[in-house]
Amino acid sequence: MPSAIRTRRFEWLTPKRSGSPPLYRGPLLETCKHMRMRDNTVLITGGTSGIGRGLAEAFYQLGNQVIVTGRREDRLKEMSGRHPGMRYFVLDVTDAIAIQQTARQVISEFPTVNCVFNNAGVQTRMSFAPGNILDHEAIQSEIDTNLLGPIRVAAAFLPHLAAQSGATLINVSSGLAFVPVERFPVYCAAKAAIHAWTLSLRAQLKNSGVEVVELVPPYVATELGGSGRMAPPSGSAINIMPLEAFVAEAMQGLESGADEVVVGDAKRLVAATSLENAKKVFSLINS
Ligand SMILES: NC(=O)c1ccc[n+]([C@@H]2O[C@H](COP(=O)([O-])OP(=O)(O)OC[C@H]3O[C@@H](n4cnc5c(N)ncnc54)[C@H](OP(=O)(O)O)[C@@H]3O)[C@@H](O)[C@H]2O)c1
């Protein structure tokens, strides 16, 4: 039997907690190297909406201790109020000092924290074409949030994660890391950088006991980009995935033990650049 993934039995997961219906009811897979789906202490950046919120609720429904972070305290309060036991910390991932302070606080209150999702992100539409005025603050903020933020969060938590069993760091990139769309040039560049950084991080941490996973979403119906984000034109090759469907597929992918959890239509973008070939060449030049 191949060592990668062996299906043990098809089983429906029953939520340990009552309340809202579970977003995830997938098969249990037995893998040699897989992310634990229960008995974790999970911290998620950007847990106030969209993908972060969806994943936080899915892990909570499975009985994990979940810690959500974000800038909007009203939302964090509302969310933890609706999910008894869920803890929140106000955290802006562009604030390097706050990240270190929060990491210390989290680790002291939750020494079992073993799973960190680098999910917080922003997306800004911009054009470098002649005649357009560039918003330099927006450019800075996009790189700060989408690239430096995850790097800072990883640096703050990795020493602790390396001492935990079943430790996993999950970086949320994007299908646009592989094939960009022109209207989000800085966003796509930052996500491509997250992909490259994740490959190196995984190789550097291979003997540390920390699994490094890249979660690659397609276009998902969330608040990303705010009102400035336009729906793809009708007839466009881009489809929007409902959040619930995204969370269900992402949870199955995380449980499968894949290093890259590529969801929905993001598979088309990843396939276009042949990630498998890139990984083979990565191994060659890093051996
Ligand atoms: N939706 C998509 O189509 C799609 C596709 C590919 C990848 N992704 C990625 O998925 C991740 C989640 O995005 P989403 O679609 O769920 O968007 P979303 O609904 O807008 O959620 C973004 C989250 O990031 C948080 N955030 C933004 N800036 C932050 C900062 N400086 N510090 C801390 N938290 C911050 C927001 O919380 P606060 O505002 O409360 O801080 C919010 O919780 C992002 O990394 C995004 O790039 C999304």
Over the stretch 108-142, which tens digit does the pLDDT of each residue have?
999 999 999 999 999 999 999 999 999 999 999 99
Residue 228 has pLDDT above 90, yes or no: no
Q: Are 144 and 186 in contact (CB under 8 A)?
A: no
In a domain, 5, yes or no: no
Domain that holds residue 209: 32-224+236-285
Q: Are 216 and 273 in contact (CB under 8 A)?
A: no
In a domain, 23, yes or no: no
Q: Are 209 and 167 in contact (CB under 8 A)?
A: yes
Q: How far, in Å, is the centroid of ligand 1 from the Cα of 287?
A: 35
Tell me the two tokens of residue 112.
């079992």
Mutate which of 49, 93, 178 for ligand 1? The one with the most ligand atoms within 8 Å of its CB, which is: 49
> Where in the sequence numbering do the catalytic residues fall?
187
Rounded to the nearest 5°, which phi and psi values hold at 248? -60, -45
In a domain, 24, yes or no: no
In a domain, 15, yes or no: no
Q: Are 167 and 39 in contact (CB under 8 A)?
A: no
pLDDT for 26 equals 41
121 lines ligand 1 (CB under 6 A): yes
Tell me the two tokens of residue 7.
């299906």
Q: How many domains, in total, are found in the chain?
A: 1
Ligand 1: atom nearest CA of 187 is 47
Confidence of residue 236 (pLDDT cuts 50, 70, 90): confident
* Through-space distance between the first and last CA atoms of the chain, rounded to whole angstroms: 28
In a domain, 275, yes or no: yes
Closest CA to 45 of 148, 166, 163, 196: 148
Residues in the chain: 287
Residue 13 has pLDDT above 50, yes or no: no
Residue 11 has pLDDT above 70, yes or no: no
Q: How far, in Å, is the centroid of ligand 1 from the Cα of 49?
A: 7
Whole-number Å distance between alpha carbons of 239 and 207:
39
